[in-house]
A and B are shown apart, each in its own frame.
Chain A
Amino acid sequence: MAKAQDEIRQGAVEASLPDTPPPASAAVDALPAEIVSDSLASYLRTRAARIRSGDSGALPVLLGLVVIAVAFQIWTQGLFLSPGNLVNLFIESMVFMTLGMAEIFVLLLGEIDLAAGYVLAVGAGIAAILVQKPGFDWPWWLAIIVALVCCGLTGAVWGTLVSRLHLPSFVVTLAGLLIMWGVMLVILGNAGAVSIASPILVNQHVLYEIVNGNIPPLAGWVVLALVVVLFGGVLWARDAGRRRRGLVAPPPGLTAIKIALFALSGIVVVLICDANRGSATSVVDGVPWVVPIVFIVLLLWVMLLQRTQFGRYVYAIGGNSDAARRAGISLAKVRTWAFVLCSVTAGFAGILYLSWQGGTSTNVNGGQYVLYGVAAAVIGGTSLFGGRGKIAQAVIGGLVIGAIYNGLYLQGVQVQWQLIATGSVLVAAVLIDTVSRRGTLSGSSTRI
């Protein structure tokens, strides 16, 4: 018995990671660097080895973002990275980010929601009419809630058709796209447009200010400081606690770097937003309200997907739906809720759109928006095949889409080239996803 144990130990050494040079075996590549390393230095070494062997994580998309920024900066002769334009870019990106988050719920299951773009349009339309139409004149918060509930109901319809009747989500939501397009036209009626830009009517004004209003610079710094202290404190306490109790945790240096990076990006955003982007006489500065609002939504959805049973089941179903079924998970329920959450989030993107534009009209191109949303998720690194992806990836993907959209627009490039550029980036992202997935697949087939 003891001898057998020894044999196993030996086998284990062969099969697991030797301390000497990082091997190219798929089994080891699949280990997160945080787990392999117990100090920051070894983490960085593992990471570097990973990148050399082709598994580069978020690096390509970050590099891509830098390349896009530099290229546009040169092309627009310095206009692109000016504070005023960057704030515009943030604001434009917020809609893409939010739609990207929406899509991630269903992409994680290996499904897709093509209706989300026109759900956005319907959400915007409902909220606009409820606050604006004489005779309605609803409070802004009630209008938002009702719009989100209506959007959620449409998601429940797609979800039920997909999960209970086993129809393909592509077809169901393609039909949904057409239906919601029609519904939007019905809601907006003959006028075809609703404006909520009235500065005197409080409920319209609040909606308008979500994107167009700014947090006073001083308040912006205070909020940022609070958020960083809170986020940093929670993260540090959690990792330190896990290290103390002997549970798996990243090395302290890595936790510190994460917190520092978070603080740094916050500071950069606030600095950019606090620069005067108006004129000398009429100052415009401060962080737009939409930035912390989208951050809160992001936080909520991260908690939901990473820290609750529902989130765990979404990943499990995306990874191996048979395993999930045998574990007693109700696939239909989880799938339906994922579609509901996708549509609610898309509806929320609609509220942001409404606020940003100061109104909505029948010109909203929901078909294009939904593709931008999917693109944001996939460019960020979410897999179309299910099981792999994180909500936060929509943020970076949304920024990429926003940057292309904004840069080409600044340059006066016509819309057809914007479409072609965005489409090309999407193809590149899907290509990366597919190739890296094939990498893991071939890895698993060589596994003993």
Chain B
Amino acid sequence: MSSDLGDGPLAQSTGLELGATAVAGSGTALLQMRGVDKHFGPVQALYQVDLDLPSGQVTALCGDNGAGKSVLTRCIAGIHQPDRGEILWEGKPVHITGPRAASELGIEVVYQDLALADNLDIVQNMFLGRERVRRGLLDEDSMERSAAETLASLRVTTVRSIRQPVASLSGGQRQAVAVAKAVMWNSKLVLLDEPTAALGVVQTRMVLDLVKTLKDHGLGVMLITHNLNDIFEVADRLAILHLGRKVAEGPASEFDRQSVVEYMTTGRSER
């Protein structure tokens, strides 16, 4: 059993105690947030948030606009420092001081705007900032091979050539490249910010399958999304934020569409 004693007051008042049963099997979750507060001036963006992100599972983080999903993501990514509370990585308290520190732990974030350079090709984007160099020159051959291997292992087979500029890719392919870029570095936890928001049906399928592949590889995945279809398609667990508070957390099987919508819009569910 994981220690889930610090549940937010609101979550308790709604009588929901799902978090404790959330961690499947093996003890502590990969990443745990305990009582995390974050405010910007007078704006309290996160209030006493507890969250478990186990490996080998997809945790969907939902909430209305302004609920604090992005702030929470940035706290894990090291861009914001929590004002109070702690983050445990593999059971040990950590201070994630910046994006570099996050990647060193094995945390990678795929932001909504993807952060790809359109004028560079897929290989160049995947290795951006971590190029392999031999005798002072870029080792293109070895980078290309590794990039191809990663894409193949993620079953991303729809790109015509990994030497094509990212500008020529479809939205789903761009998302796939951004994800591949994130998981290339022995990452253990991948945070995806609304990966299907701008995609059509076929492209969304492709990305959701990619998420399942990540899970099959044993990675922990946190999926930020509004989309109920996505949630019930790939999520093993669900956490719902409402105005900066976590109002529900638990296995996806314990929710249905209506209760998720209620939590997201009112912070409580009658069910």
Residues of chain A having any CB pair with chain B under 8 Å: 1, 4-5, 7-12, 14-17, 26-32, 35-36, 241-242, 245, 247-248, 303, 307-309, 312, 315-316, 318-320, 322-324, 326-329, 387-388, 440, 443-444, 447-448
Neighbouring B residues of A9 by C-beta, 8 Å: 157-158
Contact A324-B117, Cβ < 8 Å, known A11-B203, A307-B138: yes
How far apart are B206's CB and chain A's nearest CB, in angstroms? 5
User: Is residue B217 contacting chain A, with contact meaning CB distance below 8 A?
Assistant: no
Neighbouring A residues of B59 by C-beta, 8 Å: none
Interface residues of chain A: helix, strand, loop or mixed (majority): helix
User: Is residue B118 contacting chain A, with contact meaning CB distance below 8 A?
Assistant: yes
Could you pull out 8 A-B pairs where Cβ atoms are within 8 angstroms? A9-B157, A12-B158, A32-B165, A247-B145, A315-B124, A316-B128, A327-B130, A328-B129
Contact present for A327 and B128 (CB under 8 Å)? yes
Contact present for B120 and A322 (CB under 8 Å)? no
Further pairs besides A312-B128, A448-B170: 17, Cβ < 8 Å? A1-B209, A5-B155, A7-B205, A8-B202, A9-B157, A15-B158, A16-B159, A29-B168, A31-B165, A32-B164, A35-B160, A35-B161, A308-B133, A316-B120, A319-B118, A327-B128, A328-B99
Contact residues, B142-183 vs A (CB, 8 A)? 144-145, 155, 157-165, 167-173
Neighbouring A residues of B138 by C-beta, 8 Å: 307-309, 312
Which partner residue on chain B sits nearest A328 by CB separation? Answer: B129
Interface centre among A5, A15, A315, by most chain B C-beta atoms within 10 angstroms, is: A15
Contact present for A326 and B99 (CB under 8 Å)? yes
Contact A387-B119, Cβ < 8 Å, known A11-B206, A329-B129: yes
Contact present for A388 and B202 (CB under 8 Å)? no
Neighbouring B residues of A16 by C-beta, 8 Å: 158-160
Interface centre among A10, A14, A32, by most chain B C-beta atoms within 10 angstroms, is: A32
Contact A448-B171, Cβ < 8 Å, known A17-B160, A307-B138: yes
Residues of chain B having any CB pair with chain A under 8 Å: 99-100, 111, 113, 115-120, 124-125, 128-131, 133, 136-138, 141, 144-145, 155, 157-165, 167-173, 198-200, 202-203, 205-206, 209
Neighbouring A residues of B161 by C-beta, 8 Å: 31, 35-36, 248
Contact present for B113 and A7 (CB under 8 Å)? no
Query: How far, in angstroms, from A436 to B154 measured CA to CA in the complex?
Result: 35
Contact A30-B124, Cβ < 8 Å, known A8-B206, A323-B117, A326-B115: no
A448 contact from B113, B158, B160, B203, Cβ within 8 A:
B203
Which partner residue on chain B sits nearest A303 by CB separation? Answer: B137
Contact present for A327 and B160 (CB under 8 Å)? no
Neighbouring B residues of A26 by C-beta, 8 Å: 168
Query: How far, in angstroms, from A410 to B194 measured CA to CA in the complex?
Result: 64
Contact present for A15 and B163 (CB under 8 Å)? no
Contact present for B118 and A312 (CB under 8 Å)? no
Neighbouring A residues of B173 by C-beta, 8 Å: 15
Query: How far, in angstroms, from A315 to B111 measured CA to CA in the complex?
Result: 21
Contact present for B164 and A444 (CB under 8 Å)? no
Which partner residue on chain A sits nearest B131 by CB separation? Answer: A309
Contact present for B120 and A319 (CB under 8 Å)? yes
Query: How far, in angstroms, from A316 to B209 measured CA to CA in the complex?
Result: 29
Which partner residue on chain A sits nearest B212 by CB separation? Answer: A1
Query: How far, in angstroms, from A391 to B126 measured CA to CA in the complex?
Result: 24
The 3 A-B residue pairs with the shortest CB-CB distance, nearest first, are: A327-B129, A11-B202, A12-B158
Contact A11-B129, Cβ < 8 Å, known A36-B160, A326-B99: no
B117 contact from A10, A35, A315, A440, Cβ within 8 A:
A315
Interface centre among B111, B118, B119, B170, by most chain A C-beta atoms within 10 angstroms, is: B119
Contact present for A440 and B205 (CB under 8 Å)? no
Query: How far, in angstroms, from A49 to B159 measured CA to CA in the complex?
Result: 21
Contact present for B120 and A447 (CB under 8 Å)? no
Contact present for A11 and B119 (CB under 8 Å)? no
Contact A320-B160, Cβ < 8 Å, known A11-B203, A247-B144, A309-B133: no
Query: How far, in angstroms, from A115 to B98 measured CA to CA in the complex?
Result: 38
B119 contact from A5, A308, A315, A328, Cβ within 8 A:
A315
